[in-house]
Structure 1
Amino acid sequence: MPMRQTGGTMIAGHWEVVVVGGRIAGASTAWALAPYAERILVVDASRATTFWPQQSTWDRSGNLAWAELGLLDTVLACGAPRTYGDTYRVGDEVVEREYPCEDEHSYRMSVSREVLDPALLAAACSRENVDVLRPAQVRDIAFDAEGRAGGVTVRHAGTDHKITCDLLVLADGRLSRNAGRVGAKAYRVVESPWFALLAYYENLPLPTDRSYFSLQDRSVLISTPCGDKQWCIALDRHQSLIDESGQHPVRSYDRMVRDDPYLGPAVAGGRRTTSVGGAGRLRMLRRPMSGPGWCLVGDVGYHLDPVTAQGTRAALVTTRILRDRIAAVGRVTDVDLTGLTDERDAALETEWAYTEQIVAPEQS
């Protein structure tokens, strides 16, 4: 269905919920909160055609989280194949692994963000009370005399508009300036020595129901099918190797993919469709999930690697926790947001510990 884009003359006024950010967490939150609010506005800074090479991956727990939000059919319609195992290579040893089959959700899936993000935002806009404003930026956040967030100033098409709201949801990523504006400072940070790179390929002579992992000296190559005859090949490379070689990480990416005994022949028979994109150094962080009149969902409040199953699950869990708290009282205007931080951290402790072990083993 066409995206419902709010015009400038319709921006001003009161919206029960303003969601800043329209990607995975923001779109999912707008969808999930729609039954409990009269009007929801999604403010997204990006243009509808702006994307970068990136994928989102999830496993069985992610499938269950999508289902709990009522969005599993939406992500399945993105067309990515389900993977039920992987080829796992460590040095010269290769093991074929199968994922545990517990139920119909027991599979792994990777979807290009260029496909996933618009699908989720379109699902949110299928709710009659959800509108989208893009490209638009939050210029300021308004607080009442008691320090409660009660509105935002949004710039759209060169004009500033003042909007009031009962609940401000920030879903604008780990680099969010708005988190600082509401006073949500990080209380847990883990700096990673791993540098991430990835690119997309098409028409590779590889199975579509399996992923591939290759663990070599301080490097990990990962190949996952993403649908529409596409594969994402990612490289996580330790910073110490980059320092030792003195090479730009992209050169290391090209060499490692070419020299890999499994991927090298495959990419020679296919075609790379994007440049090599750098996700950079992974920086895990936790911020408070909520405060007076505001709530953080997704990477802005709890950042794990967004391309891992843990990162996607973190976005969905925070959305579900907020949805459940509001559903318990029936309306956004009556919700008490205290205690969400502890609830979120407890729900995601396993994912945090697992990812921290990967990105910073010396701290585990």
Structure 2
Amino acid sequence: MLLARRGYRVLLVDKAVQPSDTVSTHYIQQYGLVRMKEWGLLDALTATDTPAIRRMTISYRDNRIDGFADPMDGIDATYAPRRTVLDPILLDGARAAGVEVREGCTVCELIMEDGRVAGVRTADGGEERAKIVIGADGSGSLVAREAGAEIYQSIPAASFVYYSYWTGLDTHFHSRIGVGRQVGVWPTSHGQTLIAIMKPIDRWEEFRGDVEGNFLQVVKDIVPDIAEEVASSGERVERFIGMRYPDNYYRRSYGPGWALVGDAGYHKDPITGQGISDAFVHAEILAERIAEGLSGARPMDEALAAYQAERDERTASAYRFAATIGALVLPPELEKVFTALSRNEEFARDFYNLIAGAITGEQFFAPDNMARMIGSLG
């Protein structure tokens, strides 16, 4: 969409046909919504039946933090639309910008010429050539595999997730971490509430022996009030969906004639729910750099290298933080920070502004700010 709006011819090939669901907890922070607002797509989202979220409860063991972030560019809420709601909005935006969209079309390999990616071949026997091929095709990216994109930084995955959807619940956003387990709850589209649990990856096989029983027990242990509401008035309306997380990684995301964006190039533990918002930001950066290369403002390889460097710099602290809390056992210093957040409204507001994207991890976790928070405990 962003490249087409700059006047470039763009072909979008997707094996899915919208509306189509995908494994996703589909939460969008304010910094992601700011992107949608600037692109002219936010009104389409807020016009759906996806409720606004204006209250959050985050906890670690007995340390509970209630609150919400300050408004960001006039946005005072967050949303968690089902992907069957969000993805068609994005696709409509691309079509309106002039993108040629081919749904139900699967890419099977890249076209290589003189050491460069020159296009794609599709499963129906078609060939399409382009000056650049962008892989936005997830952690198992075909574009990454075919281009030989190596992973240059990795932290092993610590957990797995199971989730499903209920009707009949009345709750706000929760992310509640206990000892070796986490429960996430938030309202989504169609009058539904998503409930997700996380547990250490070495409990995967044990958990799968009784998914429903084990799932509901985690909810009961961590958020008994919500568990009681689920039992008394909730109705599960979809199957349980489980996923072992891929490792946290940075993958080389550019080369001659190709680039990667979203989970194809960078993935961190989903516990912070920043995947969609990050993908929006990185798509915008990548579009700007590609436009520089196509226009001749700078060499394409240099422009794409700048994209990867900026992405890595902007995500470094969030990457480490997600991997740390994704282990579901906080180191002592970070546990003290959570204690301080639960006792001080100013610190809690800063924390929610960090989640919203209004302040950076480097600012929040700066040594002097960490010392100020921990020092407040006496």
TM-score (norm 2): 0.77
User: Pairwise mapping of residues 20-39 of structure 1 onto structure 2 (< 5 A)?
Assistant: 31-39=1-9
Unmatched segments (≥5 aa) in structure 1? 1-30
Letter in 2 for 1:236: M
- Structure 1 residues 248, 111: CA separation in 2 closer, same or farther (over 3 Å shift)? same
- Structure in which a larger fraction of residues adopt strand: 1
Confirm or deny that 1:309 pairs with 2:273: yes
Q: What secondary structure is seen at the aligned counterpart in 2 of 1:79?
A: coil
Equivalent residue for 1:18? none
CA distance in 2, matches of 1:253, 1:166: 48
- RMSD (CA atoms): 2.8
The aligned counterpart of 1:99 is 68
Contact 1:83–1:108, Cα closer than 8 Å, also in 2: yes
User: What is the percentage of aligned positions where both structures have the same residue?
Assistant: 26
Measured after TM superposition, the shift of residue 88 of structure 1 is 4.0
Given the alignment of the two structures, is residue 319 of structure 1 paired with residue 289 of structure 2, yes or no?
no
| Cα distance, 1:246 vs structure 2 | 8.1
Give the counterpart of 1:342 among 305, 309, 319.
Answer: 309
Shift of 1:237: 1.0
Equivalent residue number for residue 225 of structure 2: 262
> Does 2:140 match 1:175?
yes
Q: Is 1:287 the counterpart of 2:251 in the alignment?
A: yes
Match for residue 11 of structure 1?
none
- Between stretches 129-138 and 78-87, larger displacement belongs to 78-87
The residue that corresponds to 1:272 in the other structure is: 236
The secondary structure found in structure 1 opposite 2:274 is helix
Superposed displacement of residue 275, structure 1: 0.6
Name the counterpart of 2:107: 138
Alpha-carbon deviation of 1:329? 6.4
| 1:17 equivalent in structure 2 | none
Q: 1:188 and 2:135 equivalent? A: no
Q: TM-score, normalised by structure 1?
A: 0.79
Question: Is residue 90 of structure 2 the alignment partner of residue 123 of structure 1?
Answer: no
Q: Amino acid of the residue matched to residue 77 of structure 1? A: A
Task: Indicate conservation of the 8 Å contact 1:58/1:308, yes or no.
Answer: no
Question: Is the Cα–Cα contact under 8 Å of residues 197 and 234 in structure 1 kept in the other structure?
Answer: yes
Does residue 236 in structure 1 map to residue 203 in structure 2?
no
Aligned amino acid, residue 189 of structure 1 = S
* Aligned equivalents of 2:289, 2:204: Cα separation in 1: 46
1:225 aligned partner, one-letter code: P
Is 1:354 paired with 2:321?
yes
When residues 55 and 332 of structure 1 are mapped into structure 2, their CA distance, relative to the original with a 3 A threshold, is: farther
Match for residue 24 of structure 1?
Answer: none
The SS at the match of 2:247 is strand
Return the offset for 1:217: 2.3
3-state SS in 2 of match to 1:42: strand
Match of 2:184 in 1: 222
CA apart distance, 1:150: 1.1
Tell me the secondary structure at the aligned position of residue 266 of structure 1. helix
The one-letter code sitting in structure 2 at the alignment partner of 1:234 is A
Q: Distance in 1 between matches of 2:108 and 2:246?
A: 27
Kept in 2, the 8 Å contact 1:318–1:344? The answer is yes
Question: Does the C-alpha gap of structure 1 residues 195 and 306 become closer, same or farther in structure 2, counting only changes over 3 Å?
Answer: closer
Greater mean alpha carbon deviation, residues 348-357 or residues 191-200: 348-357
Q: Of the candidates 132, 141, 152, which is equivalent to residue 120 of structure 2?
A: 152
Q: How many correspondences in the alignment?
A: 325
Query: Over residues 49-107 of structure 1, what are the superposed CA-to-partner deviations in whole Å (9 max), with x where a residue is unaligned?
Result: 5424533112222223333444333433343222222234555x474611132442243
Given that residues 181 and 328 in structure 2 are in contact (C-alpha distance below 8 angstroms), is that contact kept between their aligned partners in structure 1?
Answer: no
Q: Write the mapping of 1:44-59 to structure 2, written as runs, cut at 5 A.
A: 44-48=14-18, 50-52=20-22, 54-59=24-29
Contact 2:180 2:327 in 1 (8 A): no
- Residue 343 of structure 1, CA deviation: 1.6
Distance in 1, matches of 2:39 and 2:301, equals 19
Deviations 1:102-127 (Å, cap 9, x if unpaired)? 44224332111121112211221122
